[in-house]
C-alpha cells in the first residue's frame, strides 16, 4: 500500500506557480522537486488541504483568490522611514529585505522598494499579496519524516550534514 500525504510526511512536489497574467512566478520540476513536511504550515493552507490524503503521481490545478493565498495588499504597510533608522554600515539596495517588528510587536519582513538620499520606502506586504494565483501541482514522492526533521521543522538532505558543524547549509 502506498503512502498518502498526511501530517509529518515529507512530500516532494513538482509545481508551477502563475500569477493572474499566466506569468510563471516559481517552479520546480520532477528532477529537482521541492520537499516540505506536510502539516507544519510550510505551504499555503489551501495547497496543503488539496494535497492531504493524496498519493504519489497525483496532479491537480488550484486557482486561489488573493484572500486564499497571501491576502490583500495593504497600502498602510508601505512606509517611508528616515535613512538613519537603518544601520549606517550597510549599503542599502532596492529589493533588500529586513526582519523587524510589526505594529503589534509581531515579527515581519519588510522589503526596500525605494531609496532616496535621506529616506527609505519599505513594504511590509508579502510580495504576492493582492494577487490571484494558479498552481499546477504534482506529488513526486512521499516518505515518513524523521524525528530530527520534525524537531527541526525542515527536510534534511544527504548533503545536509550535522547541525553541530558549519557545513555551509542554512537551517
113, 133: one domain: no
Q: Residue 90 belongs to what domain range?
A: 75-123
In a domain, 41, yes or no: yes
pLDDT at 86: 85
Give me the pLDDT at residue 158, please: 58
Name every residue whose Cβ is closer than 8 Å to that of residue 13 and which is 6 or more positions away in sequence: 28, 33, 34, 35, 36, 51, 137, 138, 139, 140
Computed over every residue of the chain, the mean pLDDT equals 89
CA dihedral 95, 98, 103, 106 (to 10 degrees): 130
- pLDDT given for residue 171 in this prediction: 30
Measure the CA–CA gap between 132 and 127, rounded to whole angstroms. Answer: 12
The DSSP-derived string for 51-78 is: HTT--TT-EEEEEE-GGGTT----GGGE
Q: Indicate whether 83 belongs to any domain.
A: yes
Do residues 56 and 23 both lie within one domain? yes
Question: Same domain, yes or no, for 88 and 60?
Answer: no
Contacts of residue 102, defined as CB under 8 A and 6 or more positions apart, other chains included, come to 108, 124
Measured CA to CA, the distance from residue 125 to residue 71 in angstroms comes to 9
pLDDT band at 101 (very low <50, low <70, confident <90, very high): confident
In a shared domain, residues 119 and 133: no
Per-position b or e across 47-74, b if 16+ CB within 10 A of its CB: bbebbeebebeeeeebebebeebbeeee
Do 83 and 65 sit in the same domain of this protein?
no
Q: What is the pLDDT of residues 124-160, one digit of tens each?
A: 999 999 999 999 999 999 999 999 999 999 999 755 5
| Under 8 Å between Cβ of 123 and 78 | yes
Contacts of residue 66, defined as CB under 8 A and 6 or more positions apart, other chains included, come to 72, 73, 129, 130, 131, 132, 133
CATH of the domain at 59: 3.10.50.40
Note the pLDDT tens digit of each residue in 114-125: 999 999 999 999
Contact in structure between 13 and 28 (CB atoms under 8 Å)? yes
Same domain, 29 and 59: yes
**Does residue 143 fall inside a structural domain?**
yes
Say whether both 14 and 65 belong to one domain. yes
Amino acid at each position: 500500500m502506498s503512502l498518502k500525504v498526511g501530517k509529518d510526511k515529507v512530500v516532494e512536489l513538482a509545481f508551477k506557480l502563475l500569477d493572474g497574467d499566466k506569468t510563471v512566478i516559481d517552479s520546480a520540476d520532477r528532477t529537482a522537486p521541492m520537499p516540505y513536511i506536510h502539516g507544519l504550515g510550510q505551504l499555503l493552507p489551501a495547497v496543503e488541504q488539496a494535497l492531504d490524503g493524496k498519493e504519489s503521481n497525483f496532479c491537480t490545478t488550484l486557482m486561489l483568490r488573493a484572500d486564499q493565498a497571501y491576502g490583500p495588499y495593504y497600502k498602510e504597510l508601505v512606509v517611508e522611514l528616515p535613512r538613519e533608522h537603518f544601520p549606517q554600515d550597510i549599503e542599502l539596495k532596492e529589493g533588500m529585505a529586513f526582519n523587524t517588528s510589526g505594529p503589534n510587536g509581531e515579527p515581519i519582513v519588510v522589503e526596500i522598494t525605494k531609496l532616496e538620499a535621506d529616506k527609505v520606502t519599505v513594504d511590509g506586504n508579502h510580495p504576492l499579496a493582492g494577487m490571484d494565483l494558479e498552481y499546477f501541482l504534482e506529488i513526486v514522492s512521499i516518505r515518513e519524516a524523521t524525528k530530527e526533521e520534525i524537531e527541526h521543522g525542515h527536510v534534511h538532505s544527504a548533503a545536509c550534514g550535522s547541525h553541530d558543524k558549519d557545513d555551509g547549509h542554512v537551517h
